Amino acid sequence: MTDDIKAYAGGQDDDDLFEGATDEFPAKFDMRDRLVVIYPTGVKGSRLGENGKSYDWYETTTVVLDDGPKGWSEVGRDDHGNDRPMLVPSVEDEGAQVLEHFQWSAVGMTSRIANKLPGSDGKPGSLLGRINSRPGKNGRNPSWSISAPTEEDKVTARKYTAVCKAARDKVMAEINAKKDEAAF
């Protein structure tokens, strides 16, 4: 037992035992102007915003289907115009990107997601469109939303039918597994 403690105390044998956390994770900024399809999981909650107001959030599986009209860049910008690393990889280079357990809290998104929650069969509705933001009024942060898809966007989405179906089916399977567990 003493030998095990000495090995870990010296940090020599803890290669995969401790991994440093990062402050960065995919966010709405990584999807600005990109085409996405969103599948709500039915999990929701609320959190306090920077202004002290409570905001609803909805968990989703969000599938990123393109790199946006300007293409992908290693750097994006946040609500304040600050550069930040782009944390959702290029679809052109790596294919559609599936973000599981992604939470949306912007009112322009939650109001739409609330109407697409899974039915009694576990099947979620979907939202297809391009993520956008508009400048905030009176010093507020920009508002975030999703625009209606164009015909061209629909053509792009159809290229990833199999990826989208797999993502939606996984949401359904997880919802139905929770229902089965709760039945016992």
Ramachandran class of 81: left when φ > 0, alpha when ψ lies in -120 to 50, beta otherwise: left
Give the pLDDT confidence score for residue 134 in this predicted structure: 84
CA-to-CA dists, residue 143 to 9, 56, 73, angstroms = 49, 15, 22
Mind listing the pLDDT tens digit for each residue in 20-64?
A: 777 777 889 999 999 999 999 999 999 988 778 899 999 999 999
Neighbours of 138 (CB within 10 A): 4
Task: Quote the pTM value.
Answer: 0.85
Q: What six digits make up the tokens of 127?
A: 């939202």
Give the pLDDT confidence score for residue 86 in this predicted structure: 93
- Check: CB of residue 97 under 8 Å from CB of residue 66: no
Question: Percent of the chain at pLDDT above 90?
Answer: 66
- Give the model's confidence band at 8: pLDDT under 50 very low, under 70 low, under 90 confident, else very high: very low
